[in-house]
Structure 1
Amino acid sequence: MRIISANLNGIRSAANKGFFDWLPQTGADVVCLQELKAQLPDMSEAMLAPAGYHGFFHPAEKKGYSGVGIYSRKQPDAVIEGLGIPDIDTEGRYLRADFGPLSVISLYLPSGSSGEERQTIKFAFLERFLPHMRQMLAEGREIVVCGDWNIAHQPIDLKNWKGNLKNSGFLPEERAWLTELLGLGWVDVWRTLYPEAPGYTWWSNRGQAYAKDVGWRIDYQITTPGLAQRALSASIYKEIKFSDHAPLIMDYTGEL
């Protein structure tokens, strides 16, 4: 079973850069998308339902902003849009698809990098999302939460960690929140598979960060313990640059 998480920084932009030519070659069973920056009427048929996939979306109400989606080869048993929290759901940040005993979630956690107001919104999201993650563990299902978490957890997860100790995405409070989340029993699969590999998935558009590999690992597949034990391997696709993020690809034993 192959699951991909990809922040597209605009689905139409990613399409122009070849994302939908690449998708059929991936062999993915499920693809979680973040930052659609489009509403359904803005999207072509190939974006709504690529060949061989069912498409599901939770766009933001604001045009050209946020939004998440899921492509799956198999029709889900159920799809849940949003968390049921209005101020979060208007921004299109959470989409869940259930397949038998497995749930796959596409998550786009807020960024606080634009200023104090958005950082406050990010902290408010974290505060309310932790109980939700705790509740999901209690469901007894296998779950994977894929997406752009906008937090680098440890110094290994970003190139210039000393210079970012006071910046959103590497603040002590954010990192402590992620530590608390993992302490509940959730598993950061990349870091479990590859304890010493940085695994950067995002690069700033400033100062040749991509060319110099001055990156951050902020895209994760975080899973229940049982699913983590089924993880075989993971990779970050960098041959074609679809956005400022690179797709995170993970293979698990078993079928969808």
Structure 2
Amino acid sequence: MSLRVATVNVNGVRAAYRKGMGGWLDARDIDILALQEVRASTEDLEELLGPEWNILHDAASAKGRAGVALASRNSAQIHRVSIGAEEFDTAGRWLEADYVVGDKTLTVVSCYVHSGEADTPKQVAKYEFLDAMTIRMREIAEHSEYALVTGDLNVGHRELDIKNWKGNVKHAGFLPRERAYFDRILGSKGEIVTGVDGTTGEGLGWVDVGRQVSGEVPGPYTWWSYRGQAFDNDAGWRIDYQLATPTLAATVSSYVVDRADSYDTRWSDHTPVVVDYDL
């Protein structure tokens, strides 16, 4: 059984639909859709996506900001908004759901990590979230053989993930301490991993599906600034991920970054990441 999962930061779902998101969704035959930066009400989502979608939505506590959602063709069996840290539970940044797919139960997360800002309280909040996220991902992997964390994780893990990485080593999104979280999340399970910042910790064994399929090549990028010629020059960042447990990652049959044909046909500054899993 093939299952198609897509994730995208829509940068405001109502604006995305005005710019053409609906046409993309109609053409892509998605089974589970993870959204970040929804910035709308549940009623807005239901009206835009239509009655054929079962929608779970964790709106941000601050109106008009953040917000994550999961939309599926079939109803989820269970859903959770808790990441385990109380201060994040209503921040519109973490939403889990369990779906029955054939004879398997698949856990899917839509996650929106803080953008951060170096040497400010915003960066402190980002590290706190990454701490909670790491703990929760360890718990999920212990209880679910088939699990997937998707979303705008706002960290370029490796130099291959940012076009102009040399100019960003002191900027949020590519700080060594941020990247070290991903070294541990993606490190071999149970082994001691030395992060790019020199810290050590236990590897969790998750798999970066994009890097698994694409190999050791730049990108493919998933976000481009609206400023200047970033999109036309493909000066992007790969910060939108599908991170899978090893058993689920072994079922991947296709990984596609749906980059728009041109700057003026974009409906978000991010692009969808679409993966097929043969379950």
TM above 0.5, one fold? yes
User: Where does 1:183-198 land on structure 2 (aligned, <5 Å)?
Assistant: 183=187, 184-197=204-217, 198=219
Tell me how far 1:173 sits from its aligned partner.
0.4
CA deviations 1:157-211 (Å, max 9, x no partner) are 0100000000000000011111011121100001011113311000112222111
8 Å Cα contact 1:32/1:70 also seen in 2: yes
Q: TM-score scaled by structure 1?
A: 0.94
CA deviations 1:39-59 (Å, max 9, x no partner) are 335x16433x42521111000
Give the match for residue 52 of structure 1.
52
Structure 2 counterpart SS, 1:202: coil
Distance, in Å, in 2 between the alignment partners of 1:87 and 1:39 is 21
Give the match for residue 161 of structure 2.
157
User: Where does 1:164-183 land on structure 2 (aligned, <5 Å)?
Assistant: 164-183=168-187
Give the match for residue 142 of structure 1.
146
Report which stretch shifted further, 141-150 or 78-87: 78-87
**2:125 equivalent to 1:104:** no
CA deviations 1:57-97 (Å, max 9, x no partner) are 00001111000001101111111123243321232101111
> Which amino acid in 1 is paired with 2:19?
K
2:247 is matched with which residue: 196, 206, 226? 226
Tell me how far 1:128 sits from its aligned partner.
1.9
**2:132 equivalent to 1:131:** no
Tell me how far 1:139 sits from its aligned partner.
0.2
Structure 1 counterpart SS, 2:186: helix
- In the superposition, relative to structure 1, how do residues 189 and 96 fare at CA in structure 2: closer, same or farther (>3 Å)? same
- In the superposition, relative to structure 1, how do residues 45 and 186 fare at CA in structure 2: closer, same or farther (>3 Å)? closer
> Which amino acid in 2 is paired with 1:142?
Y
User: Where does 1:192-207 land on structure 2 (aligned, <5 Å)?
Assistant: 192-197=212-217, 198-207=219-228
Give the match for residue 94 of structure 1.
94
Question: What percent identity do the matched residue pairs reach?
Answer: 40
Distance, in Å, in 1 between the alignment partners of 2:78 and 2:131 is 26
Give the match for residue 195 of structure 2.
none
Tell me how far 1:98 sits from its aligned partner.
0.5
Structure 1 counterpart SS, 2:132: helix
1:26 is matched with which residue: 21, 25, 28? 28
Distance, in Å, in 1 between the alignment partners of 2:216 and 2:51 is 37
Give the match for residue 16 of structure 2.
14
Structure 2 counterpart SS, 1:138: helix
Gaps of 5+ in 2: 188-203
**2:267 equivalent to 1:242:** yes
CA deviations 1:123-167 (Å, max 9, x no partner) are 111122211111111103310111000000111101000000000
> Which amino acid in 1 is paired with 2:27?
Q
- In the superposition, relative to structure 1, how do residues 44 and 221 fare at CA in structure 2: closer, same or farther (>3 Å)? closer
Q: How many positions carry a matched residue from both structures?
A: 252
> Which amino acid in 1 is paired with 2:249?
A
Gaps of 5+ in 1: none
Report which stretch shifted further, 200-209 or 80-89: 80-89
8 Å Cα contact 2:257/2:271 also seen in 1: yes
> Which amino acid in 1 is paired with 2:153?
W
Q: TM-score scaled by structure 2?
A: 0.86
- In the superposition, relative to structure 1, how do residues 39 and 53 fare at CA in structure 2: closer, same or farther (>3 Å)? closer
**2:230 equivalent to 1:209:** yes
Divergent runs of 4+, >6 A: none
- In the superposition, relative to structure 1, how do residues 89 and 220 fare at CA in structure 2: closer, same or farther (>3 Å)? same
